[in-house]
Amino acid sequence: MGKKGKGGGKKEKGGKAGWQPTAVPEEPLMIRKPIVSHLTLQVRGVVWRVMDFTVRVPASMCVFELKSLIEQRHGGTVTDFTLYKEEVHPTNKLSDPSTPISELDFAASGPDEPRTFYYDFAPRVSSCPLLLREGRDLRVEALQKAEQAERDAKAARYAALKGGGVSGALAIGAG
């Protein structure tokens, strides 16, 4: 076997003195999303309590977005309504739809406290005969007929006990 030689080329001297650190980039490696504050809104109808709801929305939400949210809850049938903050009073009427909800003054101004909104609307007036017709429920009609038949049977039994019988009741009614 032959003799092993040491490396064939020249080596740079200086070791650590020649080392240059890599430059740190100025832009951040990760961009954090800004923390969006949220508000809890209680939306209540003046007339119907069935349609009341509570929703958590971004603080940047505007009044017109709240109006469209209410319209969606009603299926698009309610479009012209008045929106109030805290209580139904002319001073609390929200007239500017571009105002952010976070800029409205509330008595309960804590970040976690719900802010109450009320909305009021007039019912839609129509001359359509189908809409003006009274609703018909066959179950209710059947119950009313059964109650009437029961009252008639009870009256007939009472008249029979009094001595006149059915014909006596007819005679009293005819006389």
- Asked if 44 and 91 sit in the same domain, the reply is yes
- Let me know: does 81 contact 48? Beta carbons within 8 Å: no
pTM for the whole thing?
A: 0.54
Q: Which residue has the higher pLDDT, 152 or 130?
A: 152
- Asked if 42 and 98 sit in the same domain, the reply is yes
- Asked if 97 and 160 sit in the same domain, the reply is no
Q: Give the tens place of pLDDT for each residue, 91-140.
A: 999 989 999 998 888 876 666 789 999 999 887 777 888 777 777 778 88
Q: Give the mean pLDDT of 25-34.
A: 78
- Asked if 45 and 113 sit in the same domain, the reply is yes
Q: Give the tens place of pLDDT for each residue, 38-90.
A: 889 999 999 888 889 999 999 889 999 999 999 998 887 787 889 999 999 99
Question: Three-class SS of residue 175?
Answer: coil
Q: Which residue has the higher pLDDT, 147 or 131?
A: 147
Q: Which residue has the higher pLDDT, 66 or 32?
A: 66
Structural domain that includes position 153: 136-174
Cα–Cα distance between 122 and 65 in angstroms, integer?
21
Residue 74's nearest CA partner among 41, 54, 101, 45 is 45
How confident is the model at residue 19, as a pLDDT? 83
Q: What is the domain count for the chain?
A: 2
What's the CATH number where 42 sits?
3.10.20.90
How confident is the model at residue 109, as a pLDDT? 64
- Let me know: does 106 contact 30? Beta carbons within 8 Å: no
Q: What residue type is assigned to position 66 of the chain?
A: L
Q: What residue type is assigned to position 73 of the chain?
A: R
How confident is the model at residue 175, as a pLDDT? 44
- Asked if 92 and 65 sit in the same domain, the reply is yes
- Let me know: does 37 contact 58? Beta carbons within 8 Å: yes
